Amino acid sequence: MARDGKNSRSSHSDRDEVELVEKLVAINRVAKVVKGGKRFGFSAIVVVGDGKGRVGHGTGKAREVPEAIQKATEQAKRYMVRIPLREGRTLHHDVTASFGAGLVHMRSAVPGTGIIAGGPMRAVCEALGIQDVVSKSIGSSNPHNMVRATFKALQMISAPRQVAARRGKKIGEIIGRRAQGEA
């Protein structure tokens, strides 16, 4: 009987892992200089998401590539954050953020636009479950800076419900003002 309980738990964790989308962003060979010469290792950046508004990123270093990827994946799963999406496919509003010398602009898009983003930003958007977005990266193309800037931008996004709660208003008032501002 205990064995059945164990199997059901393991199948539950397997089900959770199947739902997660893992994207390898970058692998870098790093060297540690020691008395006898150089010791080579690998550094990996991984983005993990459920495709429904939760995403995380992690880095890992190890002597072998698979170990570095595994460490990065575990860290990414540990630090996942929830991002509100409009209609489950795009951003609620335009957002800009920077990290280091990397600057990121992300704009919501109409259905059918697709993910217009490059490199690390595309990996984050795909893992998050964004289907329509227009984005631009300026400055540093360093994958670390790009991923961190993208996460910083995504964490600045507020759903109309959150804005209404902060202001003590109804959602209709918030959305109505936005529609009047566009006209």
CATH number, position 46: 3.30.160.20
Is the pLDDT assigned to residue 35 strictly greater than 60? Answer: yes
d(CA 136, CA 141): 11
**Do 72 and 116 fall within a single domain?**
no
Widest Cα–Cα separation across the chain: 70
CATH number, position 176: 3.30.230.10
**Do 76 and 112 fall within a single domain?**
no
**Do 26 and 41 fall within a single domain?**
yes
Rounded to two decimals, what is the model's pTM? 0.81
* DSSP character string of 24-70: EEEEEEEEEEETTEEEEEEEEEEEEE-SSSEEEEEEEEESSHHHHHH
Domain count within the chain: 2
For the residues 60-84, what does the mean pLDDT come to?
Answer: 94
d(CA 85, CA 128): 9
Residue 22 or residue 88, greater confidence? 22
**Do 75 and 92 fall within a single domain?**
no
Lowest mean pLDDT among 18-22, 43-47, 167-171: 18-22
The answer to whether residues 95 and 109 touch, using CB atoms and an 8 Å cutoff, is no
Is the pLDDT assigned to residue 9 strictly greater than 80? Answer: no
Backbone phi, psi, residue 21, to 5°:
-100, 125
Place of tokens 């419900």: 161
Question: What percent of the chain stands above pLDDT 70?
Answer: 86
In this predicted structure, what is the pLDDT of residue 56?
Answer: 95
Last residue of a domain, one of 81, 98, 113: 81
End-to-end C-alpha distance for the chain, whole angstroms = 65
For the residues 3-15, what does the mean pLDDT come to?
Answer: 45
18-to-15, 33, 183 alpha-carbon distances in Å: 5, 40, 45
d(CA 30, CA 104): 27
The whole-chain average pLDDT of the chain stands at: 86
How do 37-49 and 54-62 pair as beta strands?
Answer: antiparallel
Is the pLDDT assigned to residue 63 strictly greater than 50? Answer: yes
For residue 145, what are the domain limits? 86-182
